[in-house]
Amino acid sequence: MDNKTIRLLYLLDSRIEQCTECPLHINGRIKPYWTVDASYLLIGNVENNTFLWELMEKQGFFKKQFLIINNLNCISKDQNPSYINICKKWVDLYVNAVLPLRGMIFGNYLIENGMIELRRINNLNMPIIPMVKSITPKFAKLSVKGTNLLEQAIVKFKLM
């Protein structure tokens, strides 16, 4: 990741912490996770999920390789589509900064045909990022079937 991208990500971190575009901001915010090694994308609240990272490591992936962003910037159990739509701009801004090679998505985020289409920033022709949609690790952990589904999604992600 070049210095320009790193500066942009720090700027986005600062801006997202100040967001007050919906009433959920009073609950606290979830800052996206990223490192200079980020080249993949995870959308969902999975940063501290040890179960997921154990499965990912079996396939050769490590947390530091990912931009991890939730579909909601603020802490909430309310997955209201209007709030998700407000926060979509943050996903788009971070993803446009990192330009991940591919990604995985957990939970309620809108994708079509296994691809995530980003809003175009500065009229650039940004790529469409291939995505794998999966059961959330929180629910996958509850059963053998769920674990198998999550493992299959990780293998599919690896083979993309």
> What are the tens digits of pLDDT across the range 40-69?
999 887 877 899 999 999 999 999 999 999
Most confident option among 16-30, 58-72, 100-114, 124-138: 58-72
Higher-confidence position of 5 and 29: 5
DSSP three-state, residue 95? helix
Q: What are the structural domain ranges in the chain?
A: 3-159
- Which of 4-8, 89-93, 131-135 shows the highest mean pLDDT? 4-8
Higher pLDDT, 118 or 4: 4
Q: How confident is the model at residue 128 (pLDDT cuts 50, 70, 90)?
A: confident
CATH code of the domain made up of 3-159: 3.40.470.10
Q: Of the candidates 67, 60, 56, 134, which has an alpha carbon nearest to the alpha carbon of residue 95?
A: 67
What the block records as the tokens of 13 is: 């971190």
Q: What is the crossing angle of helices 144-159 and 50-58, to 10°?
A: 50
123 has a pLDDT exceeding 60:
no
Q: Between 17 and 45, where is the model more confident?
A: 17
Would you place residue 8 in the very low, low, confident or very high pLDDT band (cuts 50, 70, 90)?
A: very high
Residue whose entry in the numeric block shows the structure tokens 């909601």? 72
